[in-house]
Amino acid sequence: MTTRSVVVKVGTSSVTDARGGVDTGVLAAIARDVASLRAEGWQVIVVTSGAITAGWSEVGGGRRRPTDAATLQAVSAVGQPLLMHAWRDAFGALGVPVGQVLLAPLDFAHRGQYLQARGTLESLARLGVVAIVNENDAVADEEIRFGDNDRLAALVANLVGASHLVLLTDTEGLLSADPRLDPNATLIDEVAAIDASVLELAGRSRSGVGSGGMASKLAAARIATWSGVTVAIAQARREEPVRRVLGPGAGGTTFRARADRLAARKAWIAFAAPSRGTVTINDGAVHALVEAGRSLLRVGVVAHAGAFGEGDAIDVLDISGARVAKGLTRVDAAGLDSDDENLVIHRDDLVVLRAG
């Protein structure tokens, strides 16, 4: 994408109203904002939540929202076209074409499909089409139960090399405390690095309708900032909700991108490729990886877990169990029990995650 490119994620509590139906007013405001930014040369991708909530509003008849995966999959299949139709109307009123892109975890797990997804999004951008991205909830049952579109948006920003990620939600941004417990809580304007003290500020989802919450947004912000993307968390129900957080001091919470941006392939290894197991390494190996930038050798491994194969992504832990790195292994789990194998992860396939 261009140097001015933004992925905009809109949460369930923002795209739906109190009854669970699609809030067309919010979608219209975001569409106007996106169209205006595009006219100034920005490339924009929209990641939307809300299919399950909108679908249940259509077929639930006021009943309690289900929790089993099979029903949620069916409900999402009802809500997805409702949501897409609403986005098409919002952008169509401005003469802007849209295209639906449904992504599943498999699209990020396999490098080939990852590159195919990138090609599709880049082609839509060249055609002048705004991609409307959502998880393929109708088949990705694991993601319905455990996933969230904050992480998806961060992975999409990584995928296309976006300069910015804006997470629009029902709060102003990251606050110094939970406002339900502390009336003196204030907005944090900027975060230089997402460390333990920042993570402690995250609470549970306040709306009750989405799968995210501030914790998932901070996790997404960490993925994106490590990939060199500037992140903002801001209130969706504002005029020009995206534009107002792309400039300095314009509201919301901004997370600075890391100066040493991960290369695209290493960002994929670190955040998109699923981990199939772990290796625990000694202090000497930790020093070799973190300080000297070396490959991981068999001599430094003291334990391993998981039935991983050659080429799988695995997490590298220190003796205390803290994650040091992640990489693509050159040997399977059985091979680690043999003295014949020496190289475990080559430094070109290794991402050190000790910092941050």
Angle CA(255)–CA(257)–CA(258) in degrees, nearest 5? Answer: 125
CATH topology of domain 5-265: Carbamate kinase (3.40.1160)
Beta strand pairing call for 323-328 and 313-317:
antiparallel
SS3 43: strand
Q: What interhelical angle do 149-160 and 111-126 show, nearest 10?
A: 80
What is the distance between the alpha carbons of residues 311 and 142, in angstroms, rounded to a whole number? 23
Per-residue pLDDT of 97-107, as tens digits, reads: 999 999 988 88
% of the chain at pLDDT higher than 90: 66
Q: How confident is the model at residue 16 (pLDDT cuts 50, 70, 90)?
A: very high
Higher per-residue pLDDT: 148 or 233? 233
CATH of domain 274-352: 2.30.130.10
Mean pLDDT of the 23-36 span: 96
- Residue 105's pLDDT is 81
Dist CA 356 CA 345 (whole Å): 22
pLDDT at 243: 92
In the chain, where does DSSP find H-type helix? 12-15, 24-39, 51-59, 69-92, 105-109, 111-126, 141-146, 149-160, 196-199, 214-226, 243-246, 264-267, 283-290
Residue 81 pLDDT more than 90?
A: yes
What residue segments make up the domains of the chain, in order of their start?
Answer: 5-265, 274-352
pLDDT at 197: 83
pLDDT at 356: 38
Mean pLDDT estimate for the chain: 89
DSSP state of 35: H
116-128 confidence digits (pLDDT tens): 999 999 999 999 9
